[in-house]
Structure 1
Amino acid sequence: MKRPIIALLLSGLILPGLGQLYLGRRNKGIALIMAVNLLLLAALFFVMKIASPVIGAYLTGTPLTPALILQQLQPYNFWAKLLLAAVFGLWGFGLVDLFSAFKEQDDVTRN
């Protein structure tokens, strides 16, 4: 019973897909890790795209106001929410997949 707990901790707290790798489900683990990394890379792109005009305004001496920052955030509002939902959805899928793997393993050991 120790293996499932370690797998859940790896996938739930560190990175989705690590628990699958730990349990030997290599293809699913690698696919989940690649998908999460792709989403994190997209999030980094959005952060840099939003931050660059704000940093530019700071470097040129333009006063930074909340209105300026909100103006830069507004066009990416929908995409940021979609990206966050995708990350959480992928994380949840990884955990649900682990629970189904545990259930399959219990069914096999009982029979």
Structure 2
Amino acid sequence: MVKKLKYVALSALVLPGLGQLCLGRRVKGAVMIVLDNIFILAALFLALRSAGKLMLAGGKNVDSAQVLAAVQTDAPYARWLLGGFLLLWVYGIVDAATDQGSSNN
């Protein structure tokens, strides 16, 4: 039971997919970690793109409404990324808690 809590904590607090790796589900854990990295890198790309828009507008006489409109174009993509990561995170926790795995519990 203590090992099961360890696997759930790894998936919940460290990185979704680590609990699956410890349970012996290597393919599932690796796929989840790759998906986590895709979500994180895509979110970082969106954040840097929005920051670039703000920095470019800093040196010009641009209305704040125009800057806000330019940054808000990335908002739907950020919501999709956040939703996808949240679903993957919840799936990782539930799967680590319910999967028996191939290790000795």
TM-score normalised according to structure 1 size = 0.80
**Count of residue pairs brought into register by the alignment:** 103
Q: Is the alpha carbon distance of 1:97 and 1:57 closer, same or farther for their aligned partners in structure 2, counting shifts above 3 Å?
A: same
Pairing 1:19-98 to 2, within 5 Å after superposition: 19-58=19-58, 61-62=59-60, 66-98=64-96
How many Å separate the matches in 2 of 1:41 and 1:89?
17
Report the AA paired with residue 6 of structure 1: K
Q: Deviations over 1:28-53 (max 9, x none)?
A: 11110000000111101111111112
TM-score normalised according to structure 2 size = 0.84
Larger helix proportion of the pair = 1
Rg larger for? 1
Gap regions ≥5 residues in structure 2: none
Gap regions ≥5 residues in structure 1: none
2:7 aligned partner: 7
Q: Deviations over 1:54-76 (max 9, x none)?
A: 11223xx3368753542222111
* Aligned CA-pair RMSD: 2.2
Quick one: percent identity of the two aligned structures? 37
Ranked by relative contact order (alpha carbons within 8 Å, sequence separation 6 or more), the top structure is 2
Q: Is the alpha carbon distance of 1:64 and 1:21 closer, same or farther for their aligned partners in structure 2, counting shifts above 3 Å?
A: farther
